[in-house]
Structure 1
Amino acid sequence: MYIFEISDDYPKNFWFQYKTSMVPSLSLKKCKELKIKESLLFKIEKKISVKKLFSFDFYYSDGPDFISPRLANLLSDNKEFLKDVQLIDANVIVNDCIYTGYKVLNILRMISCIDLNKSDSEPIIDYLPDGPKWFNKIVFKQDVIEDFYIARCKESHGHIVMSDKLRQFFIEKNVKGIDLYL
């Protein structure tokens, strides 16, 4: 099991702004399928190199994160992966041009996977010691037996984990934008 997070080589100027208010980012942390009629919209305000931007497969924003059309096509053929995720249509605006075919990952599975006794965490809000936590160090439970591709951590909904089989798939397909070498 691996934490699903941004790669070190993802440029800071490639962070998108989330331009759609119809789906708040918190809705995507509930692990429930959403009914959405329109594509979500993301934009980069600065002029950037489209060629370099489109060399990545995973994109970050101030709202939900999303994947490239290439990665969406690769993943949409995997029925087991699609049991864990809803792919939501997204468009991006870069250098005043609209690009389609992007997908937001709405993760539908949640698993208990963080060992709270071995991890280093503190409450985000002092007066809620049993509330949401900030993790300085995460240690996974050794006895997780669920068969999954990608999931949210029950102990911290903001953290996403991927299985070794998904990580291997990403390595084989040369997916860029996700840290695969933890």
Structure 2
Amino acid sequence: MIYELRCSDDYPNSYWFQFKKEEISIVDLMQCQEIHLKNPLIFTLNKKISEKRLLSYDYYMSDGPDFISPRLATLLENNEEFVKEVQLLDAIVIINGQSHYGFKVFNPLRSISCIDTDKSESRYILAGTPNEIRLFSSIVFRQDVTEDFWVARCEEYTSCVVISNKLRQIFIDNHIKGFNLKD
């Protein structure tokens, strides 16, 4: 089974971070290639929020890439199979001027064909050009995908990151907070 990796429905809008776009862009992360950075990625949040509640999450949203908590990063970094497929980029999170370390950005290093384009709803952006891009409003995953993977980008829609059932089970077993795993 394949699951789309998304932030949970109960993730507060006030917890959206701003991404300091210096070394990479979100498009760089969609290439499924290793990225070499000189400095950690920086995310900031300057709002009156419960820092304790915010830091209880394991998955965070931003106006750039999403990122994960130090707790989840440590759990995943200790899985040798996982780190062969996903690069975890260092990130610093700044909340009301205070820096927090150990956060990571997922950079999937593989893509798989997994969307049933006949059953999904989409429209083309720049239709008829060599750079046709599909924008999906509804995704249905193929049931015949047999690839063994942990995390990947969908070939049909590179904005979509999917995870396998084995990673989903790790999230469940470890009470990972902040994910909505849509199948």
Q: TM-score, normalised by structure 1?
A: 0.95
In 2, Cα distance between equivalents of 1:17 and 1:140: 31
Q: Name the structure with the higher strand share.
A: 2
Kept in 1, the 8 Å contact 2:127–2:133? The answer is: no
**Consecutive unaligned residues in structure 1, runs of 5 or more:** none
Task: For residues 37-92 of structure 1, give each alpha carbon's deviation from its aligned partner in whole angstroms, at most 9, with x where no partner exists.
Answer: 21110000212111010010001100111100000000011111111100111001
- The equivalent residue for 1:64 is 65
Post-superposition offset of 1:127:
4.9
Task: List, as ranges, runs of 4+ consecutive aligned residues in structure 1 with deviation greater than 3 Å.
Answer: 125-130
> Would you say the 8 A contact 1:47–1:94 is kept in 2?
no
Cα deviations across residues 87-115 of structure 1 (Å, max 9, x unaligned)?
11100110210111101111111000111
1:94 maps onto 2:90 in alignment? no
Root-mean-square deviation (CA, aligned residues, Å) is: 1.5
2:181 match: secondary structure: coil
Whole-Å separation in 1 of the counterparts to 2:147 and 2:132: 25
Asked if structure 1 preserves the Cα contact closer than 8 Å seen for 2:32 and 2:110, the reply is yes
Distance 2:41 2:76 in 1: 19
Tell me which residue corresponds to 1:52: 53
The verdict on how the C-alpha distance between 1:98 and 1:130 changes in structure 2, with shifts beyond 3 A counting, is: closer
What secondary structure sits across from 1:180 in the alignment? strand
Match of 1:152 in 2: 153
Give the secondary-structure state (helix, strand or coil) at the position aligned to 2:11: coil
Quote the offset at 1:20 in angstroms: 3.5
Are 1:71 and 1:175, in contact at CA under 8 Å, matched by a contact in 2?
yes
TM score, norm. by length of structure 2: 0.94
Q: How many residues align?
A: 182
Task: Tell whether the 8 Å contact from 1:48 to 1:95 is kept in structure 2 after alignment.
Answer: no
Partner of 2:181: 180
Letter in 1 for 2:32: C
| CA 1:55–1:8: 2 relative to 1, 3 Å | same
Counterpart residue type for residue 121 of structure 1: S
Give structure 2 stretches of 5+ with no counterpart: none
Which residue matches 1:134? 135
Deviates more, 1:102-111 or 1:172-181: 172-181
* Structure 1 pair 109–181 and aligned structure 2 pair: CA distance change class (3 A): closer
Deviation digits for residues 128-153 of structure 1 (CA, Å, limit 9, x no counterpart): 49711121221112221110011000
Aligned CA distance change for structure 1 residues 151 and 3 (closer, same or farther; 3 Å): same
Deviation at 1:126, TM superposition (A): 4.6
Aligned to 1:3: 4
Q: Supply the distance in 2 between the matched residues of 1:106 and 1:56 (Cα, whole angstroms).
A: 19
CA distance in 2 between counterparts of 1:128 and 1:27 reads 22
Of all paired residues, the percent bearing the same amino acid is: 51
Aligned equivalent of 2:170: 169
